[in-house]
Amino acid sequence: MSNIRVRFAPSPTGALHIGGVRTALYNYLFAKKHGGTFVLRIEDTDQGRYVPGAEDYILESLAWCGIMPDEGQGIGGKFAPYRQSERKDIYQKYALELVANGNAYYAFDTPEELDAKRQAEAAAGNHNFKYDTVSRKVMKTSLSLPADEVQRRLGAGEDYVIRLKMPENETITFTDLIRGEVSFHTSELDDKVLMKSDGMPTYHLANIVDDHLMEITHVIRGEEWLPSTGHHVLLYRAFGWAATMPDFSHLPLILKPDGKGKLSKRDGAKFGMPVFPLGWDAETEEDSFRGFREFGFLPQAVINFLAFLGWNPGTEQEIFSLAELCEAFSIEKISKSGARFDYDKAKWYNQQYLHTADDAELATLVRPLSEAKGYHVSDKYLAQVCHLMKGRATFLPDLVEQASYLFGDVQTFDNEVVAKRWKPESRPVFEALADHLKAQPAFVAAPLEEAVKAFMTDRGLKPGEVMPILRLSLAGTMQGPGVYEMMELLGNERTIDRLAKAFDYFDAHLA
RNA sequence: GCCCCGUUCGUCUAGGGGUCUAGGACGGCGCCCUUUCACGGCGUUAACACGGGUUCAAAUCCCGUACGGGGUACCA
């Protein structure tokens, strides 16, 4: 295959859903795998649903994920413009062409009239009224009205839509790269609106015209489009573009964690997890949310997680860099059934990426968080904190939030453990240990460990009698990095100082 | 309702007629490591929706049923 061109064509009606990100990812991977081009097109043909900021959000999201398009809105390219609202005239021309060659027609019914008609039909027992070969003969269309009447209405500037004229009694078959052969009978298909009364095309018209004009070779999109693909195939035929029609691949949907329907915007709040890549600040708090980024996910982890939600290379490798995904990806390996959003798996992936992340890079990512907490430390120190904490973190903020004692004095002690480990006679022993540590020439983990062990041997002390007190003195809690590593990070002076302060506190809180 | 798509451990999945007493990962449970919490290692738990065919042989092919999902707008 050569000159592969795919597109991601989101609608700027709000934040880009994580399912959309996965669609973009699969398009990106397919393009990269075959040395093709990944195009971003903005489908803003519904003026009523346009949300300011959505387009920027889409670009930012793709950038954060590291899957930037090669061409398209916000990037440029030879098929510009890539925003459909700016291509209005093009669709107009093609819609008229279809009317002229008998594949489409004018319809003058207002939305209200259509509603009334649907209700009347429903009342009469027909619950699936649609605009089709039968009804188009009784509705107000250029097929049912006299030619001069049609001209009069058009001339008078009456509102109209242009509809696709569905052929009678035909079976439309096409091959979906994921599902194989799929077919529809035209008697089941309706006369879809192609051009709305406001002069804007519907998705159906615009996506065919643009995919053709932009020389798209493969359409990889969500399963929700499968039922209308029959219409799309017909449109390619009507335009005489059947020979260059792109291959279709319909992706399985991402389902809610409970499996009841497809994952939606509200599920984020409902299940306490992100369902968008980035956060979104809306007018109301209810409409605002945090994304994977704000939760503290690494984009590489999100990408890896998403890639495996509906796709699998067939090997037992689970961790894949973006480059490895590009190499391993193939449409044939995409599964057919919907995948539940498995948040535990997402967290596991993040943990894996955190563990192997570079300390300095983590420090950079975590800097805003530590500053916000009032922790002003050097880059080197912050990187060292990350080094000690990353093995036990799930989210980026854990690196800072669970390490308060590495940034400042111990704020609270675990009194329960204190009561259990600190005895009235402990003080002289630990003061001797503190003196011993203070005298160490090198305040480095390994030698410190030797020093403490030697001290314990001398005094006939067991680790259980010493280590918990040391840990408690330095961190206040029984959780955290290795004691000797903490000592090294804190340094001689601070370590000794903490021990002294802690011993005072312990004495004061003797049970 | 009608149309389309789907159905392997709780979840994500491997599997594309015999090598399946069905493999991996997440989660759960247990043990080891560590006298911290984790990580890690080891082990364990648990599945071919059902019924008919086809075949010497079916998780794998066909049909039906059930269940699930999607679509059914002058939204994408």
pLDDT at A126: 83
pLDDT at A201: 98
The yes-or-no answer on residue A265 being catalytic is yes
CATH of the domain at A474: 1.10.10.350
pLDDT at A123: 86
Distance A10 CA to B35 C1' (A): 56
Q: Residue A105 pairs with which residues in a beta bridge? A: A163
pLDDT in tens, A267-320: 999 999 999 999 999 989 889 999 999 999 999 999 999 999 999 999 999 999
* Whole-complex ipTM: 0.96
A44 nearest nucleotide via C1' and CA: B76
Residue A182 DSSP one-character state: E
CB-to-strand B under 7 Å, chain A 93-112 = 109-111
Residue A382 lies in a domain: yes
Residue A76 DSSP one-character state: B
Residue A161 lies in a domain: yes
CA-to-CA dists, residue A449 to A381, A440, A453, angstroms:
21, 11, 6
Chain B: positions less than 7 Å from a protein CB are: 1-8, 10-16, 23-27, 35-40, 68-76
Residue A248 lies in a domain: no
Residue A45 lies in a domain: no
Write down the H helix ranges in A203-256.
203-213, 229-239
Residue A468 lies in a domain: yes
Does residue A237 reach within 7 angstroms of strand B, measured from its CB?
no
Does residue A179 reach within 7 angstroms of strand B, measured from its CB?
yes
pLDDT at A509: 85
Asked if A249 contacts A218 with a C-beta cutoff of 8 angstroms, the reply is yes
Residue A186 lies in a domain: yes
The first and second tokens of residue A373, run together, are 């907490």
Sort residue A251 into left (φ over 0), alpha (ψ -120 to 50) or beta: beta
Residue A393 lies in a domain: yes
Strands A161-164 and A104-107: antiparallel
Catalytic member of A33, A130, A265, A373: A265
pLDDT at A202: 98
Asked if A72 contacts A40 with a C-beta cutoff of 8 angstroms, the reply is yes
Asked if A452 contacts A437 with a C-beta cutoff of 8 angstroms, the reply is yes
| Domain-ending residue, one of A195, A227, A262 | A195
CB-to-strand B under 7 Å, chain A 8-67 = 9-11, 13, 43, 45-46, 49
CB-to-strand B under 7 Å, chain A 68-87 = none
The first and second tokens of residue A466, run together, are 């010493």
Question: Is residue A227 reached through a cis peptide bond, with omega within 30 degrees of 0 on the bond before it?
Answer: no
Asked if A55 contacts A74 with a C-beta cutoff of 8 angstroms, the reply is yes
Asked if A186 contacts A168 with a C-beta cutoff of 8 angstroms, the reply is yes
Number of domains in chain A: 2
| Domain-ending residue, one of A158, A174, A195 | A195
Residue A167 DSSP one-character state: P
CA dist., res. A17 & res. A7, Å (int): 17
CA dist., res. A302 & res. A65, Å (int): 8
Domain range for A493 is 359-510
The first and second tokens of residue A30, run together, are 């397919």
Exposure b/e, A250-271, CB count within 10 A at least 16 = b: bbbbbbbeeeeebbebebbeee
pLDDT at A2: 60
Q: How many helices (H) and strands (E) does chain A have?
A: 21, 12
Residue A288 DSSP one-character state: -
pLDDT at A424: 87
CATH of the domain at A92: 3.90.800.10
CB-to-strand B under 7 Å, chain A 112-131 = 114, 127-128, 130-131
CA dist., res. A339 & res. A257, Å (int): 9
Residue A423 lies in a domain: yes
Q: Which residues of chain A have pLDDT under 70?
A: 1-2, 511
List the one residue out of A413, A394, A39 whose CA is nearest residue A210: A39
| Domain-ending residue, one of A178, A195, A212 | A195
